[in-house]
Amino acid sequence: MISRMLLAIVLLVGAAPDPAYVKNVEEWRAKHESDYRRDWVTVAGLHFLKPGANTAGSAKSNDIVVSPNVPPTIGRFVLDGQRVRFEPQAGVMVLLKDQPVTTVIDLKDDGQPSADELVINNVRLVIHLSGEKRSLRVRDPNGELARGFLGFKWFPIDEKYRVVGRFVKDAQPSTRQVVNTLGDIDTYTTEGVIEFTLLGKKMTVRPFTTRPKRFYIVFKDESSGKETYDTARFLYSDLSDDGTTVLDFNEAYNPPCSFNPYTTCPIPLKENRLPVKILAGEKAYPHPPTHSAP
């Protein structure tokens, strides 16, 4: 009896994850939520621009009702083909790079290396590119969504969901046209697939390349729409010099559209719908969005 008890204790201890590894994952999760609280949690609006002038401000008479935390009218956003210019309202303090905007200016969208961000009373505005469409993305740290954010929920850390895969390179890099949650098309670069075994099953996943040796994986699995968010989850990994890459699904996380209706997210490629239930990483947000961005 004692021998059996000792064996059970040994097996239990052996199954416990390495404390240093657990600490690293917990720190990663804490930083991830902190970053999201500063960024995606503050997104309070996504307003697609119509051709020509679009008035903006807090007044309901505007084409774009930005936020109750800005003046009644802040100016006009004028869409001219692929260009957007901002015409400030006289007497309203609008900042760009900490300097007042006093004349008409062209705005760089977030599809360019350095997007222009307008600031009014701590509310930030940027031109967002979704496919070929342009919209005004509003960030308000004092908005309703930011105030009601519930935080993220995670599965217990389990090392069986940390696996080493092998990258199989394509003959040449290529691009994929990926539909997002608004039905727009975004283009991503891919250079190959990752072969790996998880929960006893061999499978592959096709990552997108964000920079040299850095992979961005958009995937679904058999937990999607049940224990985890329906549309997709994200995972990043790095390519080692020996052609291997670590896939740690304990760090798989939900896209911002899982909790914020004013964001857009890519839909996974068919080949990235994995035939296993991955009960690791982030769980479904307690109260998912009830509507999408217009």
User: Tell me: the pLDDT tens digits for 250-272?
Assistant: 999 999 999 999 998 999 999 99
pLDDT tens readout for residues 74-101: 999 999 999 999 999 999 999 999 999 9
The pLDDT tens digits of the residues spanning 181-233 come to 988 899 999 999 999 999 999 999 999 998 999 999 999 999 999 999 999 99
Q: What is the pLDDT of residue 57?
A: 98
Q: 7 pLDDT exceeds 90?
A: no
Task: Look up residue 146 and give its amino acid.
Answer: A
How confident is the model over 18-36, as pLDDT tens digits?
999 999 999 999 999 999 9
Label residue 289 by pLDDT band (50, 70, 90). low
Fold of the domain built from segment(s) 43-145:
Tumour Suppressor Smad4 (2.60.200)
274: nearest Cα among 218, 208, 210: 218
Q: Which ranges in the chain are annotated with CATH 2.60.200.20? A: 43-145
What does the DSSP 8-state code read for residue 13? Answer: H
Residue 9 pLDDT > 90: no
Of the candidates 111, 115, 93, the one whose C-alpha atom is nearest the C-alpha of residue 102 is 93
Confidence of residue 239 (pLDDT cuts 50, 70, 90): very high
Q: What is the pTM of this model?
A: 0.85
Q: What is the pLDDT of residue 16?
A: 74
Q: What is the pLDDT of residue 288?
A: 60
Cα 95 to Cα 25, 42, 62, 245: the distances in Å are 39, 19, 20, 43
Query: C-alpha distances in angstroms, 115 versus 128, 186, 216?
Result: 9, 18, 22
Distances (CA, A) of 170 to 47, 48, 102, 202: 39, 37, 51, 19
Query: What does the DSSP 8-state code read for residue 50?
Result: P
Burial class (CB in 10 A: 0-12, 13-18, 19+), 63: middle
Mean pLDDT for all residues in the chain: 92
Residue 130: what pLDDT?
A: 83
User: CA angle 254-30-274, nearest 5°?
Assistant: 30
Residues β-bridged to residue 134? 129
pLDDT given at position 8: 45
pLDDT at residue number 11: 43
pLDDT for the residue 79: 98
pLDDT at residue 204, as a whole number:
98
pLDDT at 182: 86
pLDDT in tens, 132-188: 899 999 999 999 999 999 999 999 999 999 999 999 999 999 999 999 998 889 999
Closest by CA to 75, choosing from 57, 60, 58, is 57
